[in-house]
Amino acid sequence: MLMARGKKGTYYGCMGLMGSSSEVGSLFTQDDVRELHSAGHELACHTINHTSGFSVSAKDFAESCEKNRRQATSLLDEGSLRNMSFPFGHVTLAAKHMVRASYDTCRSTEPGINVDPVDLSFLRANPIYSRFDIQGLKHLIRDNARVNGWLVLYTHDVTESPSPYGCTAGYFHQVLDSALESGAEVVTIRDAFVQFRDTAIV
Buried/exposed code over 60-92 (b: 16+ C-beta within 10 A; e: otherwise): ebbbbbebbbebbeebbeeeebbbbbbbeeebb
Alpha carbon of 160 to those of 3, 163, 170, 171: distances in Å?
Answer: 19, 10, 8, 10
pLDDT attached to residue 202: 61
Rounded mean pLDDT, 62-66: 98
Query: What is the band of 57 on the pLDDT scale with cuts at 50, 70, 90?
Result: very high
Sign for the pseudo-dihedral over CA of 35, 180, 123, 196: positive
Inform me whether the pLDDT recorded for 198 exceeds 90. no
Instruction: State how far the Cα of 120 lies from the Cα of 196, in Å rounded to an integer.
Output: 9
pLDDT attached to residue 49: 97
Instruction: State how far the Cα of 33 lies from the Cα of 35, in Å rounded to an integer.
Output: 5
Instruction: State how far the Cα of 195 lies from the Cα of 117, in Å rounded to an integer.
Output: 12
Q: What is the pLDDT of residues 96-141, one digit of tens each?
A: 999 999 999 999 999 999 998 899 999 999 999 999 999 999 999 9
Rounded mean pLDDT, 163-187: 97
pLDDT attached to residue 117: 87
pLDDT attached to residue 67: 97
For 156, phi then psi, to 5°, come to -120, -90
Alpha carbon of 135 to those of 8, 63, 72, 128, 170: distances in Å?
Answer: 24, 40, 37, 11, 14
Percent share of the chain, pLDDT over 90: 89
Structural element, H or E, at residue 147? helix 134-147
Among 150, 185, 148, 173, which Cα is nearest to 8's?
185
Inform me whether the pLDDT recorded for 188 exceeds 90. yes
Using DSSP, state whether 194 is helix, strand or coil: helix
Structural element, H or E, at residue 85? strand 83-85
Among 98, 4, 108, which Cα is nearest to 59's?
98
For 158, phi then psi, to 5°, come to -120, 105
Inform me whether the pLDDT recorded for 201 exceeds 80. no
What the chain holds in terms of domains, given with CATH numbers, is 3-199 (3.20.20.370)
Inform me whether the pLDDT recorded for 200 exceeds 80. no
